[in-house]
Structure formats: C-alpha cells, structure tokens
Chain A
Amino acid sequence: MSFGWLWPTALLVILTFLVIYPVSMLLLGALTNTNPVVDGFGVFDLSLTNFITVLGNPNVHLALANSMIACGGGTALAVVIGLMFSWVVVRTDTPCKRFIAAASMIPLFVPPLVAAVAWSILASPKTGLLNTLMAWAGITWRLDVYTMTGLIVIFGIYYAPYVYMFTASALRNMDPALEEAAEVAGAGALRILLTVTFPLIAPAIISGMLLSFVVMLGIYGIPAVLGAPGDIPVLTTYIFKLTNWSPPLYSTAASVAIILMVVTGFLVWLQQKVVSGRSYITVAGKAFRPGVMKLGAWRYFTLGLAVVYLVVVVVLPTLALIVAAFRKFLFIRNMESLFDTRQYSLIHFERLFDNPLAMRSIVNTMEVGFITALIGGVFAFAIGYTVNRTTVRGRGAINVISTIPVAIPGLVIGVAYLWAWIGLPGGLYGTIWILALAFIARFMPDTIKALSTSLLQIHRELEEASWICGKGLLGTIRTIVLPLARPGVIAAMTLLFILAIRELGSSLFLYTSNTMVMAVLLLDYYEGGNVGITSAFSLVQTVLLAVLIGIAHYLSRGGADTSGVGRAG
C-alpha cells in the first residue's frame, strides 16, 4: 500500500513548519548568544560555550538530579496508582466503577499551579490546614509538603491519570484468551495479573510511564510552589530563573533545555526499542469481552482505595481552594478561626470579574482549546495512521520529528515559537491561531501516543478484509479504523483540549492583550501574591473544565461503552 510521495511530503512540510523550524531556532539560541530575530541570521558565532558552562555548573547538576528523583519517584507512584485503578475499573466487579473511572481522570484537569497552591494551603509545615487540624486533635506529627517526598507524592497522585488512560484502554481492548488459558492451567489471580495481563499491555504501561515522566519533567507550577520554600531547585524552575535574569539568559536556558531533550530523547528511544519487535495486537477479527474478576468482600476495599484517592486529589484540595477563595485572608490561627464566618466574603470573585481580562481570557481559552483539539486531533490521527498502519517512505522521519516536542520544556519552546513565527507574513502573530499552532505542535507527541495505542491494537486483517471488499483507503479508515479507534480518538482529543487549556509555558510569549488566556492570567495573579484571587480563579477554571470534560465524556459514551467488544469487519 503506498500513498505515493505526495502524502508523506505534505506531512513532512507541515512538521518542518511546526517542529523543525522552531527547534532550529532553539538550537541556534543554544549555540550562540543571539536572539535570531533581533540579531538576524547573518550573525553566526557558533560555539559550545553555553553547553560547557551549563554542564560544568554544579547547580545544574543538582537541578538535574532533583528533577530525576522527583519525576522518577513520581512516575513510580503514578504507575502504581494508574495501573491499579485501570485494573479495578476494567477487570474487577468493584461497585461504582463509573465513579472510580471518573475519579481516576479528574486530576488531569487540575492545572499544576492550582494543585500546588492547594497543597501548600493544606500541608505547609507551619500553617497548613491539615496541620492545624492535627494540632487541634492533639496529634504532634506534621505534614510537610515542601520536601522531596512532598514533590514526589504530589507528582505521583496528579500524573497517575496518564498511566490510567493508556492502561485502561489497553485492558478494555484485550483478548482474554491468554488469561483464560492461564486460568485453565491452574494459575492464581495474582499470578495471571503479573505474568499474563500486565506483560500483555506492556506497551500501554511503558507509554503511560514515559509520558507521565516527561510531562512531569516539563512541569513548572508544582516545583515552583512546593520546591522553592524547601530550596529544591529542578530543571524547569532553573530555566524559569534564567528567562527572568536581567538581561534574560535565553541561550543558557536553551542549553539546559537541550540537556532535557537528550534525557527524554534517550527515554523515547528506549521505549521504542522495548516496544518494537514484539506484537501487542489484542484486537483482531474475533468477538470477545474481557473477563471480570470477582473480588468478593475485597471489592469494598478497592472501592475504599478509590474513595481515599478521590479525597486526596480532589476533595481536600478543592476545599482548600474554596477556603482560600472565599476567605478574606488566609491567616488561620486555629480551628475556631477557620469556621469564623466573618472572615469569609465574595471579594476575590468580585475583583476577579471586575477585571475585563478575566472573561476575555475564558472565552479565548475555550476558543484556542477547541481549535487545538479539532485540528490537532485530525493531524495527529493522520500522522499516527501513516506511521503505524502504512509502509510509505519517510514514515520513520515523520515518527521521529513528531516525537521531538515531547522533550522540550514549554518555557523555552515558547520563545522559540515566537522567534520562528513572528516574522511570518499574514499577521499570524497577535491572533489566537499562533497559540493554537504552538499547542498543536507542542502536544503532538502526547496526542499521537494516545492514538497509537488504539491503532496498534487493531489487527491489519480487519483493514485487509475491507480492501478485499472493495473499499478504498479513506473508506476503510472511515468505516473500520475510526469506529474501532473511536474511544482512543476522543480520548486523545479530550487530552489535547485539556493540555491546551492548562498550557502556560508556550503561551507566555505568544499571547497579546486581545488573546490573553486563563493560564497566563492565573500566573499573573499568583505572581501578584494574592492567593485569594488566585484560588478564586482556579475554582472558576476547575469548574469550567469539569463541565466541559463531563460533556466530552457524555459524547464519547457510545464509543466507550461498546469498546469492550472488539468487532469484526
């Protein structure tokens, strides 16, 4: 099957514009001390000085080591939580599974800065609400979220949904024949889980693990809020410092970003090496429904775990935000003061909506989110299908190029997009399209990965059957591939929508007065030192996202409900 040269060339041209051109700007920045737009392209004083300086700087070593420990620990915890809940939801008879499924995804739409602010309100060692509560109860032990353990736990609980997303869909689409064989051979439930089920969905676990790790590596909000008081610098906070230096040290920041790229590039390569050469096809031309394990009384234990998780990631932080948003000031001496109603008012909400930028940022964010999800989703499907389901020449290059953005922290790629695209004719700069393009490019790897898991699981025999029946390529995609991959496609577009709405780093340089987005305004309020108005805006953002995701979930129900059965062509 060949598309000819036109299709891969078209994809490569778009990818060059979206990825290669901005990344070249970043490399140019790292290898020189110039702003390519300001100093022009004629001034090529290439040198490795920035790299040598950065690599020899012990503070960079420390930030790198801290990043690895925080994100490594966070990933390990995310895998445990994500995998456990996906198994509980898909393969057990735990009650209230829909509730658990929803709970498992909620942390995904909490912006990192919001999560961190909420947890600093809850568990700062001196004035955290939980510590105040423990003092009131006579407990002397104190929580301290401003530590490496605090960072790991917050990373782990908030990034578990990445693992859940991949593994739940893989478990749902899995042929249970091998599990049944193991059961017939006398293997116990735990043994089947560890030796058959989990190894079978290994690509999904590895993909989820890798994605959550690299996403954590690029997060600024959590280490900025929780790492700073405990003096735990990580690479992103270090990069942010460089961009705010006077004068800003973008070239040094770009060099640090290249180090991050090398680390994540190596991990992506490792993942592909592990996944390739093994077949993970679990959806073939045979009907099946994965078995459900009867847990007996233990099913209340698994339900209990889900409730605890929900309390920790949603209920407590939301309560903290509510207290902060409605309380005039967050000085809470004791429990009596917490319940003193005179301390509460709507002043932060009044001030928030008194600012015309607040409403404008909400409208802009929604617009950018929808454009990004729609165009980005279609483009990612085109790439995912080309890479995974065709043999056209150049698909290897397409795969590699489309993976590059995963490795670049948003704070740095933001300025690279500005350098790359501001000079383009046609007035792209200053519109929301430049933001949408940046988000599409930046989150392409995440979207393609989310889609590819679904695509990888569809056996080629289904498409071959369609071709034999006389359907063309587009007809086959429309009638066979898209319906089977529908849960994956909708999940990928929803993911893209959420990521676009939360994205801060690459927005910072691309927004203008007319295209202000929520994430930037939220940071403005946080940087202004007003935790009340920051919390009020966080609550507004969380509620909006929850409503939108509820709608997306409702719309995708038809697909998700039938996804348990692999359908023959």
Chain B
Amino acid sequence: MSDFRINRRQFTAGAAAGLAATTIGSQRAAAQAYGSNELIEAAKKEGKFVYYTADFTEPEQEVIKAFNKRFPFVKVEMVRAPGGQLITRIKTEAAAGKLLADAVNHSDRGLMQGIADLFQDYAPPNAKDYRDDVLVSPKLWPRATLGWAIAYNTELEKNPPKTWMDLCKPEYGPKKIGHVIGPSGGTTWTRIMFERQTFGEDYWKKQAATQPILYPSGAPASDSLVRGECSIAVLLYNICYIKKRDGAPVDIVFPSDGVPLNFYAAGVTKTAANPNAAKLFLNWCMSEEGQAMQIKELGYLTALKNPPLNPPGYDPKVIKTWAPNFDQYVKLRDSWIDEWNKTYGYRQ
C-alpha cells in the first residue's frame, strides 16, 4: 500500500510549481502554443462560446477556471449531459438548424465518429505531438484521456488488490468490490473489453464469483467507496483522485497488469457562432499546459506521445496501457455486453 498522502495546500503548491515550469517562455512562444495572435484577438472579440460536454460538471469547472486564468476574456457557457443524451441533443439541434454548441467534448468516440460531418476542420497547434492511433477523425481530438484503476477505502481495506487478477480472489468477496456495470457507457465498455481480451474468456466468470456490488455508473460507486458501503471499487482514476486530493479516506492503485485507457473526442462545430473562442479553448486544453493541469489537478492521463508528467503511482515504464482496437470496439460491443450481463446476473 502506498503511503503517498498530500493535502490540498501541498497539492496546489506543487501544481502551481509544475504549471509555472511548463509555461516558462516568451509571450510569443505562449501564443504559438495556444494559437496565432490573430486567433487570440478574434477569440477576444467573440468573448464567449458554448461548450457541450459529457464529462462531469466539477472537473469541467476546474478546467474552465484554469483556462480563464490564462484567457480571462473568454466566457465558457457549458452544457453538461450524459453521453447518450448529449448525442441526441446535438443531432436534433443540428437537424433543426439550431446547433448551439461551438465546441463538443464527448466520452464515446464511436458516437462522435457518427456525427463527424457536423464538425469543421480543426487541429491543435501541437497536433503532431499526439498519438495517431487514437484519432477517429482528423477533426476530433483526445482532449481528455482517462485510465481505469483500483480504488479502496483506506479505513476498511488494509490489503488491497493490486492487479486485475487479484480482483478474482475469493478474499475480496462477497460484496466487498464495487463494479460499474458493463453497459454503463463507452468507458466501461472499454474496461470489460480489456478484461476479456487480456485475461481470457473466463475472467468475467471468475470476477463475478466474488459477488461484487454493481453500480449504474462511476459516481455512485465512488460515493459508496468513500462512505464505506464497499471497501474496494474498480473506477476511473480521475473519479477517485479528486476525492483523495481533498482528503477522503481513499487510495488508488494503477494495476500492474494493465491500464485500459479511454480517449475523449473533442471538436469545433461547422456552425459555430464563436469558432475562434472555441478553438482557443480546445488549443489550450490540448496544450502541454492544459494537459499538465488536467493530470495534476484532476487525475487525467494524456494521449501526448511524451506526457509532461504522470499522476502519482503511474510509471509508464512499468505500467502497460491498453487502448481498444476501434473496429472491434464498435463490432463486438452488443454481443459482449449481453454476455457480460448474463455472467454478472445484470438485467438489462
């Protein structure tokens, strides 16, 4: 078990130092990192943009706040909705000629690929620094990257599981482990796809034998973990990271036998009324400074080929990351989720 403990003040001081280090440079260099002077001036003139996102409200507020520290003249008007509802809203608005969003950030690349024609050509200034294999369209970019981890309540669990295989051990059952259901969304589908492709067809069966508690999404699972309803939970690292950062009795382990990654897709719409402000925001989010802030403050990972830093406990030399093959991600989804539901006795 890691003894790593930080309080909020130490954390903020560390983050500020880190950010300062990453932003050293002339004004000109900074401008190039986020876009041309013309773009910045145009964004200033627009003064705002409408941002649709499937990420949670709280971390998005922190990202917007950090962006506004650098560009205080752009007001971000956010609409947050769960993935399925957000796609329905975008499609319907677009069809009626009333798409209000200037920029969209979505957790499900499959769904975003289906509406790629609603987006204009866009690439951040540092596009070449990003992994090519995670792009589903040249217009859509991995603004956020999330990784799965094992979290546990430090008051209740003194010998936490450290690997995916540990999660199948009988000592972690019954009703000790909290799992987010397979059909919860794109991120969970990535996780169960990883489990089966990496550990074999009977992995789900072994894991289900520990009689885990099933949660409809990561939010109630993380809440239950903090409250002690379950003592271990398989969660996206960032969900628990903020709680740990704020002092909750939780700790998080990146499993040494693999970390499945989920890449968001973000872009600027063709019909954007404020395209420059939207681009400036995404440019900042995709910049090294923006990615470093999301890693340090929010516990995200990154799709940058050379990460500016890594979250605590994440050693890229040791930890094997895993990204789904996108074709399989689309094709296998329904049948494998059906099978997962049957194995875990989940009634869909």
The reply to whether B83 and A529 contact each other, CB–CB distance below 8 Å, is: no
Of the candidates A124, A244, A333, the one whose C-beta lies within 8 Å of that of B83 is: A244
Decide yes or no: A530 and B58 within 8 Å by CB, A244-B185, A331-B226, A357-B78 being known contacts.
yes
The reply to whether A127 and B92 contact each other, CB–CB distance below 8 Å, is: no
Q: Say which one of B166-174, B246-254, B283-291, B311-319 lies at the interface with A.
A: B246-254
Q: Which B residues are in CB contact (< 8 Å) with A530?
A: 58, 223
Q: Which residue of B lies closest to A351 (CB)?
A: B58
Shortest distance in angstroms between A53's beta carbon and chain B's nearest beta carbon?
Answer: 13
Report the bound CA distance from A509 to B84 in whole Å: 11
The reply to whether A246 and B186 contact each other, CB–CB distance below 8 Å, is: yes
User: A59 at interface (Cβ–Cβ under 8 A)?
Assistant: yes
Q: Which B residues are in CB contact (< 8 Å) with A419?
A: 92
The reply to whether A35 and B92 contact each other, CB–CB distance below 8 Å, is: yes
Decide yes or no: A355 and B57 within 8 Å by CB, A244-B83, A415-B88, A524-B80 being known contacts.
yes
The reply to whether A529 and B214 contact each other, CB–CB distance below 8 Å, is: no
User: A429 at interface (Cβ–Cβ under 8 A)?
Assistant: yes
Of the candidates B58, B84, B224, B226, the one whose C-beta lies within 8 Å of that of A533 is: B58
Give the size category of A's interface with B.
35 or more
The chain A residues found within 8 Å of chain B, CB to CB, are: 35, 37-38, 59, 62, 124, 126-127, 224-225, 228-229, 231, 233, 241, 243-248, 250, 328-333, 347, 351, 354-355, 357, 415, 418-419, 422-423, 429-430, 508-509, 511-514, 516, 521, 524-531, 533
Shortest distance in angstroms between B186's beta carbon and chain A's nearest beta carbon?
Answer: 6
Decide yes or no: A243 and B77 within 8 Å by CB, A38-B91, A429-B98 being known contacts.
no
The reply to whether B248 and A331 contact each other, CB–CB distance below 8 Å, is: yes
Report the bound CA distance from A509 to B92 in whole Å: 10
Add 8 more A-B contacts to A228-B215, A513-B50 (CB < 8 A): A38-B91, A246-B108, A418-B92, A422-B92, A512-B100, A524-B56, A529-B239, A530-B223
User: B162 at interface (Cβ–Cβ under 8 A)?
Assistant: no
Q: Encode contact with A along B91-129: 1 for CB under 8 Å, 0 otherwise.
A: 111111010100000001011001000000000000000
Decide yes or no: A508 and B215 within 8 Å by CB, A126-B228, A529-B222 being known contacts.
no
The reply to whether A513 and B79 contact each other, CB–CB distance below 8 Å, is: yes
Shortest distance in angstroms between B9's beta carbon and chain A's nearest beta carbon?
Answer: 13
Q: Which A residues are in CB contact (< 8 Å) with B58?
A: 351, 525, 528, 530, 533
A-contacting residues, B237-257, CB 8 Å = 239, 243, 246-249
Q: Give 8 closest A-B pairs by Cβ, nearest first.
A: A529-B219, A513-B77, A248-B84, A528-B56, A244-B84, A38-B95, A422-B96, A524-B57
Q: Encode contact with A along B55-77: 1 for CB under 8 Å, 0 otherwise.
A: 01110010000000000000001
Of the candidates B57, B215, B239, B247, the one whose C-beta lies within 8 Å of that of A329 is: B247
Report the bound CA distance from A37 to B222 in whole Å: 38
Give the size category of B's interface with A.
35 or more
Q: Encode contact with A along B242-283: 1 for CB under 8 Å, 0 otherwise.
A: 010011110000000000000000000000000000000000
User: B298 at interface (Cβ–Cβ under 8 A)?
Assistant: no
Q: Which residue of B lies closest to A242 (CB)?
A: B84
The reply to whether A430 and B56 contact each other, CB–CB distance below 8 Å, is: no
The reply to whether B61 and A512 contact each other, CB–CB distance below 8 Å, is: no
The reply to whether B229 and A423 contact each other, CB–CB distance below 8 Å, is: no
Q: Which residue of B lies closest to A528 (CB)?
A: B56
Shortest distance in angstroms between A6's beta carbon and chain B's nearest beta carbon?
Answer: 33
User: B2 at interface (Cβ–Cβ under 8 A)?
Assistant: no
The reply to whether B89 and A509 contact each other, CB–CB distance below 8 Å, is: yes
Q: Which B residues are in CB contact (< 8 Å) with A124?
A: 227, 229
Q: Which B residues are in CB contact (< 8 Å) with A225?
A: 220
Q: Which B residues are in CB contact (< 8 Å) with A527?
A: 56, 82, 217, 219
Report the bound CA distance from A527 to B80 in whole Å: 11
The reply to whether B92 and A38 contact each other, CB–CB distance below 8 Å, is: yes
Q: Which residue of A lies closest to B50 (CB)?
A: A513
Q: Which B residues are in CB contact (< 8 Å) with A525?
A: 57-58
Of the candidates B85, B95, B217, B229, the one whose C-beta lies within 8 Å of that of A243 is: B85
A-B CB contact pairs (8 Å), 13 listed = A35-B91, A231-B347, A241-B183, A246-B108, A247-B84, A328-B248, A329-B248, A331-B228, A332-B227, A422-B98, A524-B80, A528-B219, A530-B223
Q: Which B residues are in CB contact (< 8 Å) with A332?
A: 227
Q: Which A residues are in CB contact (< 8 Å) with B98?
A: 422, 429-430
Q: Which A residues are in CB contact (< 8 Å) with B214?
A: 231
Q: Encode contact with A along B194-228: 1 for CB under 8 Å, 0 otherwise.
A: 00000000000000000001111111111110111
Q: Which B residues are in CB contact (< 8 Å) with A418?
A: 88-89, 92
User: B87 at interface (Cβ–Cβ under 8 A)?
Assistant: yes
User: B302 at interface (Cβ–Cβ under 8 A)?
Assistant: no
The reply to whether A241 and B185 contact each other, CB–CB distance below 8 Å, is: no
Q: Which A residues are in CB contact (< 8 Å) with B84?
A: 243-248
Report the bound CA distance from A333 to B227 in whole Å: 9
Q: Which B residues are in CB contact (< 8 Å) with A241?
A: 183, 216, 348
Q: Which residue of A lies closest to B153 (CB)?
A: A331
Q: Which A residues are in CB contact (< 8 Å) with B33?
A: none
Report the bound CA distance from A351 to B127 in whole Å: 34
Q: Encode contact with A along B21-37: 1 for CB under 8 Å, 0 otherwise.
A: 00000000000000000
User: B155 at interface (Cβ–Cβ under 8 A)?
Assistant: yes
Chain A CB within 10 A, most for which of B91, B95, B248: B95
User: B81 at interface (Cβ–Cβ under 8 A)?
Assistant: yes
Q: Which B residues are in CB contact (< 8 Å) with A347?
A: 246
The reply to whether A329 and B92 contact each other, CB–CB distance below 8 Å, is: no
Shortest distance in angstroms between A347's beta carbon and chain B's nearest beta carbon?
Answer: 8
Q: Which A residues are in CB contact (< 8 Å) with B56?
A: 524, 527-529
Report the bound CA distance from A360 to B87 in whole Å: 25
Report the bound CA distance from A533 to B227 in whole Å: 15
Q: Which B residues are in CB contact (< 8 Å) with A331?
A: 153, 155, 226-228, 248-249
Report the bound CA distance from A539 to B333 in whole Å: 41
Report the bound CA distance from A517 to B216 in whole Å: 24
